[in-house]
Chains A and B, each alone.
Chain A
Amino acid sequence: MNELALAIPWLGKRNPAAARWVVVALAVGAPLIAMLFGKSWVRILDFAMLYVMLAIGLNLVVGFAGLLDLGYIAFYAVGAYTFAFLASPHFELHLPFWLVLPLGAAFAALAGIILGLPTLRLRGDYLAIVTLGFGEIVRIFMNNLNHPINITNGPQGINMIDPLVLFGWDISKPLKVGDEITINSLFLYYYVFLACVVLSVILVQRLQVSRVGRAWAAIRDDELAAKAIGINTRNMKLLAFSLGATFGGVAGGLFAAFQGFVSPESFSLMESIAVLTMIVFGGMGNLAGVIVGALALTALPEVLRHVAVPLQQAVFGQVLLDPEVLRMLLLSLAMIFMMLLRPAGLIPAYSRYSRPELVVGKEAGR
């Protein structure tokens, strides 16, 4: 939050308090602004919030603990499919979300440990390859587990997933306030997702400034030295994998409920890479950077879709480049320029793992 406020250009450093309010106002008012451009933009915003959650979770693993994970989307898939199994007509189960979501998170955490155990000794590129394989294995399982017994319904995916019902209130239906005003469910989903994001940020920040966060940073900076000061690197890595996966699992469950439909193609390798790109683009290890990165890179392709096509039609009279092609092109260009100009990401502010003001604040204004 503070980091996010400080990152606002011009205002952030001069007036942090005002900047903080700007962040709050933007977060709360975003769907209203998006509505001005059409309902589809509110939907995009909802997805952006899910990506922010994913980015926060992946940042825990990659940014804090330094474990390069290229299969992170698998945990998103585990969360989504758990929700789909337990709250849809597929198995005739309709468990409430407050049961399904934690279960999805728990299964994702378990998947995190399963991925973590065999990869404990691996680092860097080797770890990346194994995690990449893991992500693909999960997707291929989802794709093929419809035969001989139909579990995942294969490539068709699972349909008609129950929406989020908060204490008997179905948020997929528009909310009527009085007689005049109806609030679209896209807005309701946005605020639910926003609440989840805020909670995630608080939790992750608490972890960061704690013995656990410092142990992760220690492993990331120098694993041998981390061992030499008594950190049990095995347990700490497993903890990072499972906690990171938990965020993915929750995001996956929310995604399933929001979309009402899951299929294996939502969990391809490209998605894993997209989330990783958000982190690298925004500033690895830095929460504010990760959030900005996720927002920017979710919005980019949509802006392209809305701008590139009419623009090309106006200039050339026809669409020469498909927005999807343009998206990859611009994304790669953005990454290349980023690496050249700001290798530490959009907001490269260094992360804190302590709060020295706890002790010295009054004694000496260091």
Chain B
Amino acid sequence: MITLLEARGICKRFGGLTALSDVSLTIRKGEVYGLIGPNGAGKTTFFNVLTGAYVPEEGELVFNGSELPLGKPHKVVEAGIARTFQNIRLFRDMTALENVMAGHHIRSRANPFSILLQTKHAKEEERLITERAFELLKYVGIERFADTVSKNLSYGDQRRLEIARALATEPQLLALDEPAAGMNATETARLRDLVQTIRHDGVTVLLIEHDVKLVMGLCDRLAVLDFGKKIAEDVPAEVQRNDAVIAAYLGGHAAQKGAAA
């Protein structure tokens, strides 16, 4: 399989705290890749490094064969990586449709002059953006709320809208930061279906999740972080049997030492 993203030796420190130390992992094209670990393991930090919110002290990211610029979020999106947030971050005062349309920003070209003059090209692009945004709302199943101001949507629909907005940037890799957090069983099941549809349509998915059942059922492969280090990377069945992982989740250091000895 073709490698889509390769992280090599990523280190990220905050003062004296090492949030990520020498993390390397490989995401293949077309898979659902899970990133799990106990609280504070560095999952979200990795996410933020990947999407350009943080600049790592060491290491590099190779995406689609070329090096990813570090610390430049808009370049990362342009390269084809989109993300959602652990605590939903929508544009509160815009409608659902407008949120998704805003997501098309990076893939549209109209400049202020063509907008002020309303050139044919600018008008056509605007119409296309509207149309595509509608399609994406349908894709995630909330098209009937197109005209609703996003802060008035229900929690689950806000999550879906955030995914639609991320998809609007036409990513090759969609990075979801705990998409099932706070969802009930039905909503989680629907989310699972949505992620599978997205993968089926050719977008690689990186999933950070606490819901172990969801991760195990959904991911092709997964990596486990603990205290900023990668302790395992394998298919779910293998990871479940991994002693270091069990120790990290259940027993802490004593158990880990015992397992190692």
Contact = CB atoms under 8 A, between A and B. Distances in A.
A215 B102 contact: yes
Interface stretch (A220-228, A258-266, A314-322): A220-228
A358 interface: yes
Contacts of A214: 94, 98, 101-102, 105
A225 to B, nearest CB: 4
Nearest to B131: A359
Nearest to A357: B130
B245 interface: no
A353 B150 CA distance: 13
Interface in A312-366: 350, 352-356, 358-360, 366
Interface stretch (B110-118, B213-221, B230-238, B248-256): B110-118
Contacts of B149: 350
A209 interface: yes
B92 interface: yes
A306 to B, nearest CB: 40
Given A211-B129, A366-B147, A224 B53 contact: yes
A203 B103 contact: no
Given A211-B108, A229-B165, A217 B94 contact: yes
A258 B248 CA distance: 76
Nearest to B88: A225
B252 to A, nearest CB: 34
A232 interface: yes
A212 interface: yes
A50 B206 CA distance: 54
Contact of A221 (B73, B93, B130, B166): B93
B127 interface: yes
B104 interface: yes
A230 B89 contact: no
A206 B111 CA distance: 12
Interface in A140-169: none
A225 B51 CA distance: 11
B54 interface: no
B173 interface: no
B4 to A, nearest CB: 18
Interface residues of B, number: 48
Contact of A230 (B92, B106, B115, B131): B106
Interface stretch (B37-45, B62-70, B76-84, B190-198): B76-84
Contacts of A220: 93
B91 A222 contact: yes
Interface residues of A, number: 36
Contacts of A225: 85, 89-91
Nearest to B132: A359
B89 A224 contact: yes
A208 to B, nearest CB: 10
Interface string A79-109: 0000000000000000000000000000000
A243 interface: yes
A252 B94 CA distance: 33
A353 B94 contact: yes
B77 A229 contact: yes
Nearest to B125: A211
Nearest to A216: B102
A255 B259 CA distance: 81
A218 interface: yes
Contacts of B146: 356, 360, 366
B204 interface: no
A209 B90 CA distance: 18
A11 interface: no
Nearest to A203: B116
A231 B106 contact: yes
Contacts of A182: none
Interface string A174-210: 0000000000000000000000000000010011011
A62 interface: no
A358 B131 CA distance: 8
B5 interface: no
Contacts of B122: 210
Interface in A243-292: 243
A356 B102 contact: no
A352 to B, nearest CB: 8
A239 interface: yes
A30 B35 CA distance: 66
Contacts of B199: none
Interface of A: 203, 206-207, 209-212, 214-215, 217-218, 220-222, 224-233, 239, 243, 350, 352-356, 358-360, 366
6 contacts: A209-B126, A211-B108, A227-B74, A354-B98, A360-B146, A366-B146
Interface of B: 51-53, 73-74, 76-78, 82-83, 85, 89-95, 97-98, 101-106, 108, 110, 112, 115-116, 118, 122, 125-127, 129-131, 133-134, 146-147, 149, 165-166, 168-169
Given A210-B110, A211-B102, 5 more contacts: A212-B115, A218-B102, A230-B76, A354-B95, A356-B130
